[in-house]
Amino acid sequence: SYRIAVFASGQGSNFQALADAAARNELGGAEIVLLVCDKPMAPVVARAEQAGIEVFLFQPKDYPSREDYEREIAAELTKRSVDLIVLAGYMRLLTSVLVEPYAGQMINIHPSLLPAFPGVRAIEQAYNYGVKLTGATVHLVDGGMDTGPIIAQRTVTIEEGEGIASIEERIHGIEQCMYPKVVSWFAQGLIQIEGRKVTVLHAPSSKA
């Protein structure tokens, strides 16, 4: 089977959407074999336990460097023959220890239309900037901050006078819909990568 590991640090609404899709057999046959989490108190941990998914928990402060904990994560991934790393609100930069071996096999979801508003608090950045159109992006992870090749994007049109809470809710809604679809494309071998150009090969439903 196609085996994925989800990395998350927080609420885990995207993790939940992926776990629910897997349970409904809507993840292209992919199986979530591990949650990697850097925050023992994060709500996502309870979600994984509820779904019967193994958790690798760690605290960055227990390690001398990022490379040190990433080597441990890499060993956990190798042990479980993970095919794809799915970052879902994992709020840490990755080093070459994980980025290099998983080049083309690690994806991230970001709550803006990249390359606009990379980094933290992207929804707030876009709102404060006054954009009329925003959205969410799924991209491959490279060494930069939200810079890797784009796989899928969906838009949210900001209504006149709309508040940030409402925009946030709508962006989270499209994320939870698009991320399981993108993972299912990977699991079905429909993703072709040529430099920055990512193509989704013919699929019954290839719209995120």
Q: What's the CA gap between 124 and 120, in Å, rounded?
A: 9
> Min. distance of Cβ 122 from ligand GAR in angstroms?
5
Q: Does the annotation place 84 within a ligand binding site?
A: no
Q: Is 142 in the site for ligand GAR (CB under 6 A)?
A: no
The residue number whose beta carbon is nearest to ligand GAR equals 89
Q: What's the CA gap between 135 and 167, in Å, rounded?
A: 9
Which burial class, exposed, middle or buried, applies to 78 when counting CB atoms under 10 A from its CB (0-12, 13-18, 19+)? exposed
Choice between 118 and 188, CB closer to ligand GAR: 118
Joined tokens for residue 169: 């809710």
Q: Is-cis flag, bond preceding 115, omega within 30?
A: yes
**Restricting to residues 70-109, which ones interact with ligand GAR according to CB under 6 A?**
88-89, 109
Applying CB under 6 A, the span of 7-15, 27-35, 46-54, 199-207 interacting with ligand GAR comes to 7-15
Q: Does the annotation place 71 within a ligand binding site?
A: no
φ/ψ of residue 199, rounded to 5:
-115, 140
Identified binder of ligand GAR from the candidate list 4, 36, 84, 110, rule CB under 6 A: 110
Runs of H (alpha helix) within the chain: 13-23, 43-51, 66-79, 96-99, 122-129, 164-187
Task: Decide if 172 is catalytic.
Answer: no
- Cα–chain-centroid distance for residue 10? 12
Site string for ligand GAR, 143-182 (x = CB under 6 A): -----------------------------x--x-------
Q: Give the residue numbers of the binding site.
A: 12-14, 66, 91-94, 108
Residues lying near ligand GAR in the complex (CB under 6 A): 8, 10-14, 88-89, 109-111, 122, 172, 175
